[in-house]
Structure 1
């Protein structure tokens, strides 16, 4: 039925396209500095149109399907702006080659007096595969770039990145990974277009020193990037060489004995500019608002890029992230009485417990070749190695006769993981009569092997009074020690997963590309082997249909239909495999640019239905423990909502990020009728974020900026199972502010988070008690930077 529907849509669209007879032209060109250096990643905007993009590494850009007429082409590069008039005629390509009036070094020294369009990117990275501008893409995609990350002083993925995207919500963490939920499900983590999730507690959260931007894609984005959760995914894009000789260094100090240094070096290694490099190094020591808690990290990220010729380049990237953190699990509070009845700095940890160490090494090789002006071939391969040695804390229980007393438990937590990814795809553009085609097709595969040892555990000391805690009573000699003589491959539990996918997409353009119809299909095969999941393979063909119509030069409406397909790992009580999660996604939206693309607003409505969702099996208890630990696949969830995103320069030098999401996530089918209609865990009904930034562009206070932002979450459900018998979480409001100043090469910024010093936390019920994690009270960061 689906294939018939796609065929019918294709025939109807071709008939419509035959009626299109208007003609358009193109603009192609290059930008260079006065000393003939390529202006890499310069912003190019066609005034009074929706066309805007960034030049590539060679300073090249191209706009297709431009209406005939005379335009002003504006180039923004390193704080400098320059414009040139260009005339477009039908069926012709207008060549524009602009040489800026300043050299690259002079441009580096320009005082940036305005942040034009820094919060509103025009285009996603190449690692998302699509070359369609965000305005024309029939999907909700939001990008958080360097300008935003620096203004908010975000140091890693755990620190409020989600506030910049509608409906994104950070859930619990173990100091090593970030769990972000979108549209009622965990967002699948990607890095440079590759799935890097080894387990439920991965990947190691990215340090922002190596990050260029973070792309949030809503809905079953797995069509292009291998299967992921239906709510969406986020793609971390790491920094690459720009071909411009430049660098920066920064020092940060802050609350809780936070000290950080970072260096970013970017440039060319040969006179002909063909061999380029990028090197990011950062080190950090950081304490916490909880006693005995710290997180020290180091990142080393070199990149080499070689331009083989004008059409071909090879990029090799290595990333080494190392973290030493205090006892995992000590950042949770527990009580049988309810949430939030312990101090903000409460911990179950001790000063003499060994730390947990984590190291992630990642090698990425990328190849890109332009066959001609219309066709480009990409290939990339990645290898990720993760190792962890440490332990975790979790209570064995709270005494029924005295709910002040807890028995703390401690267990080993060692892990070893490997991930291999290989991808190849092609982007192209052709015309068949009046119809244009943006074609994308490719193949991807990944294999993940993960070993974990939780199998050694013991009590930590005697009874512990959570309302009157006394620390330091357990001698180091009495702290349990773990047997690590065997390799973790022998003593640990093994989880193996992999998938292979083939996909093809054609975006057909009609009426001079004002109407765009996307027809696509993907075949995915999942395979997995582990003691808890058995040995199984499942596969599915999933179609994708999109529609986008530009009813004005700077406005478009869109519709999208695609399907959900996701592996359901595990075994039921009888040892049988689960069927995969399936379902559908429908999304409608509108996008509008204002003031020549200075800011953009998007509004979307969606509905996701998932079948074969795992639910608790309350008919079969574990014969050993008597606990109900098994699951069954007879659940269905419906997640629907509305999302609004506004970002960009609303007024001159006044930038805004505003977003709101209404999310209605409910269980619609379950083996137990009383659970139907309950909330899906980890989905707040109302999420609203605002961040405003203003910078003075002239006068005695030139370079001074001020920012303020807040996050509100209302009708919060808990992290874990929620059946309406447990109280939900209270509403959440956090207010942050910042001031900064830039003069020449120097900059300074002071950020103060939780200005109102609110008691903020999130949590869930668990085995007869409540557990939660607090955020720090009012705290600050001071950053001093220098560019060269």
Structure 2
């Protein structure tokens, strides 16, 4: 009863906000109808050019690029970036800090598992920090930019980069959308998106969401909200200023998942929570500002200048299974789980400044399309981390001393919550100043050649307040790239690309020296298809990636690391998306990825031996996602129904051991129908056949079970 009342109050509180936005949007839509068209005719710069992209069609770029648009997210009822990325097979899930940040690997490489995976927002570095898992509200499309891109973007994994294009103010138009939905485990969600043309040159777009409800995990209730407005202003016929804000909050208990003993994934129910409800929620907050000025000098030259600032804060406690066998009572009786207790305060500030000039000119018979840019990136984060650990079993600890919970018959709050000792009190600062140039030359009507390079100057600083040791290091890096694109025929283009890159490592060795960055080298080749007059597009590609300076444990100094490791990933991909005759939408994405260690080392987190040829953790060799949707008319009502399937192959669940996560197949069903003009009923069911699956794993004692069969139903109004 309390659960229903709480969600009913959320629904009542959200509805006025939604109705206020949609009512104002509807009223202003009529007002703008008469004069909005006239005003919009004078506006030349209506959209915002994406940074690092230039004036290129996807078929002209020597790189595999896949896009997931807002319509696809809406069709599938997707509300998290993590679920959206499942739609592309080149991207796979990684460890998400108990569901509190986004972590993924592209083409087998994931980066630092102790940090959230970075991504771009409107072409600007914007995914760093600790703001919780990103909601899909406010996303216009997700771009999966695969392969070598460091010569433009700089920092990042060689497998690729995710760029989120947000829903921005659309100048000279007024429209609105509002939706309410109810889902499994008493989950209620409200969303609104209203674009209001205030004058011919000023438009405000207001996007907001609120969500509250339980999950399939016992004692895990979640609450989240976000406000994401955008303001667009024309400063003349050729100049546009855009400001975007993101303010979000996520509140959810920290959840490490289930335990798996001796390979038995039925050791406990997938719903069993093995933390401590008394720890309360972990809260992640984010506030992000982005300002961009886009100026068109002529039909051949344009300038993009902008900056962003993102503040995030993650705080909370958790009780987690102890992973060291010498301290874990579970291995002695099969039911007594020894637990650590942790306290986190991760406070980060990230700001970026950048400018990019894009243009086109001719030299003799060659046409050049160039990008010339520079940026400054500053990431400052403070970590205060406290931890209690159970004593070694050799000391015969009591159940209270081991902070034990019975996994078969849990009793929560059995013992007073232990207090941890400070394990980390540190501030890390990463600064990068970079400049880049890219020239894509049209040699003939069919042949284009791209060359480019980026120079970065890195400054890395660490202030370790526990050891009173300050470390500082400077590094410079030159990253070249080259590519070629050849149009075999109207529907087929082939390409090849090469690039080098880097990613800064975090931490110091035993002497307090900051590590050199990871170095990477990437090769890619493929073919791009455009069929049915461009309605259906696809890419077939092969790739080979390698990187060095992967961190490994220093065997002579426990607790410190050395940069010794090497890794390699190679494989093939196929992406196909678009429309078929008969109002049929299709999406197919397949990836074969062979990612493995290329040097023997000791894993710095688990101390297990890693051998040459060992598969990288949480990376399946085979991954497939496909769906088909049919639109039709039912009487006088528009309707759509679709079905999708995701297959993820088995993959290593712990570095340096033989623990494997099983493969899984998940089916989904979705549909919608107009119940009246401007109002549609929609619904979706994921994991249709209720398969037991596992999203990721750090060890057999930290396994994240996948969500069971889940349904949502809702109403969506458009104005």
Aligned to 2:292: 366
SS at match of 2:137: helix
Deviation at 1:760, TM superposition (A): 0.8
SS at match of 2:379: strand
TM (norm. structure 1) is 0.78
Aligned to 2:447: 515
Aligned to 1:451: 382
CA distance in 1, matches of 2:42, 2:231: 16
Alpha-carbon displacement from aligned partner over 1:389-419 (angstroms, at most 9, x marks no partner): 2112212342143231112222211121111
- Is 1:469 the counterpart of 2:409? The answer is yes
- Is 1:167 the counterpart of 2:90? The answer is yes
> Kindly tell me: are residues 373 and 463 of structure 1, through their superposed partners in 2, closer, same or farther at Cα, counting changes over 3 Å?
closer
CA distance in 1, matches of 2:107, 2:294: 34
Deviation at 1:716, TM superposition (A): 1.5
CA distance in 2, matches of 1:758, 1:398: 30
CA distance in 1, matches of 2:491, 2:243: 38
CA distance in 2, matches of 1:526, 1:165: 32
CA distance in 2, matches of 1:602, 1:482: 52
Contact 2:120-2:164 at 8 Å conserved across structures: yes
Deviation at 1:652, TM superposition (A): 2.4
CA distance in 2, matches of 1:56, 1:455: 59
CA distance in 2, matches of 1:283, 1:40: 34
1:246-645 equivalent positions in 2, closer than 5 A: 246-270=175-199, 273-326=200-253, 328=254, 330-338=255-263, 340=265, 341-396=267-322, 397-399=327-329, 400-457=331-388, 464-474=404-414, 478-479=416-417, 492-512=425-445, 514-531=446-463, 534-617=471-554, 619-622=555-558, 629-645=559-575
Deviation at 1:60, TM superposition (A): 7.3
Deviation at 1:167, TM superposition (A): 1.6
- Is 1:754 the counterpart of 2:683? The answer is no
1:112-123 equivalent positions in 2, closer than 5 A: none
Contact 1:339-1:771 at 8 Å conserved across structures: no
CA distance in 2, matches of 1:133, 1:316: 26
- Is 1:126 the counterpart of 2:58? The answer is no
Aligned to 2:14: none
CA distance in 2, matches of 1:562, 1:606: 12
Alpha-carbon displacement from aligned partner over 1:730-767 (angstroms, at most 9, x marks no partner): 1121111112112430111110111111111144464x
Aligned to 1:681: 617
CA distance in 2, matches of 1:646, 1:774: 30
1:606-755 equivalent positions in 2, closer than 5 A: 606-617=543-554, 619-622=555-558, 629-670=559-600, 675-696=611-632, 698=633, 700=635, 702-718=637-653, 720-721=654-655, 723=656, 725-742=657-674, 743-755=676-688
Aligned to 1:18: none
CA distance in 2, matches of 1:358, 1:432: 53
Aligned counterpart for 2:134 among listed residues 193, 198, 206: 206
Alpha-carbon displacement from aligned partner over 1:623-655 (angstroms, at most 9, x marks no partner): xxxxxx433222221211100000000232111
Further displaced range: 456-465 or 189-198: 456-465
> Kindly tell me: are residues 60 and 410 of structure 1, through their superposed partners in 2, closer, same or farther at Cα, counting changes over 3 Å?
closer
Deviation at 1:347, TM superposition (A): 0.8
Aligned to 1:179: 103
Contact 2:276-2:318 at 8 Å conserved across structures: no
CA distance in 2, matches of 1:756, 1:525: 52
SS at match of 2:615: coil
SS at match of 2:651: coil
SS at match of 2:516: coil
Deviation at 1:555, TM superposition (A): 2.1
SS at match of 1:570: coil
> Kindly tell me: are residues 674 and 232 of structure 1, through their superposed partners in 2, closer, same or farther at Cα, counting changes over 3 Å?
closer
TM (norm. structure 2) is 0.86
Aligned to 2:157: 229
Deviation at 1:182, TM superposition (A): 0.7
Contact 1:358-1:389 at 8 Å conserved across structures: yes
Unaligned runs of 5+ residues in structure 2 are: 1-31, 111-116, 391-398, 465-469, 603-608
SS at match of 2:661: coil
> Kindly tell me: are residues 40 and 337 of structure 1, through their superposed partners in 2, closer, same or farther at Cα, counting changes over 3 Å?
farther
Deviation at 1:59, TM superposition (A): 8.0
CA distance in 1, matches of 2:75, 2:209: 18
> Kindly tell me: are residues 463 and 316 of structure 1, through their superposed partners in 2, closer, same or farther at Cα, counting changes over 3 Å?
closer
Contact 1:364-1:383 at 8 Å conserved across structures: yes
Contact 2:196-2:204 at 8 Å conserved across structures: yes
CA distance in 1, matches of 2:42, 2:109: 35
Contact 2:295-2:302 at 8 Å conserved across structures: yes
CA distance in 1, matches of 2:37, 2:157: 40
SS at match of 2:457: strand
Deviation at 1:309, TM superposition (A): 0.3
CA distance in 2, matches of 1:674, 1:40: 64
CA distance in 2, matches of 1:150, 1:304: 24
CA distance in 1, matches of 2:611, 2:389: 36
CA distance in 2, matches of 1:434, 1:60: 33
> Kindly tell me: are residues 56 and 639 of structure 1, through their superposed partners in 2, closer, same or farther at Cα, counting changes over 3 Å?
farther
Cα-Cα RMSD: 2.7
CA distance in 1, matches of 2:233, 2:343: 45
> Kindly tell me: are residues 699 and 388 of structure 1, through their superposed partners in 2, closer, same or farther at Cα, counting changes over 3 Å?
closer
Aligned to 2:21: none
CA distance in 2, matches of 1:269, 1:250: 24
> Kindly tell me: are residues 125 and 751 of structure 1, through their superposed partners in 2, closer, same or farther at Cα, counting changes over 3 Å?
farther
Deviation at 1:481, TM superposition (A): 7.0
CA distance in 1, matches of 2:412, 2:332: 26
> Kindly tell me: are residues 455 and 550 of structure 1, through their superposed partners in 2, closer, same or farther at Cα, counting changes over 3 Å?
same
Aligned counterpart for 1:778 among listed residues 700, 709, 718: 709
CA distance in 2, matches of 1:436, 1:307: 31
> Kindly tell me: are residues 464 and 125 of structure 1, through their superposed partners in 2, closer, same or farther at Cα, counting changes over 3 Å?
farther
Deviation at 1:34, TM superposition (A): 9.1
CA distance in 2, matches of 1:313, 1:427: 16
> Kindly tell me: are residues 457 and 482 of structure 1, through their superposed partners in 2, closer, same or farther at Cα, counting changes over 3 Å?
closer
> Kindly tell me: are residues 406 and 315 of structure 1, through their superposed partners in 2, closer, same or farther at Cα, counting changes over 3 Å?
same
SS at match of 2:51: helix
CA distance in 2, matches of 1:782, 1:233: 33
Contact 1:350-1:471 at 8 Å conserved across structures: no
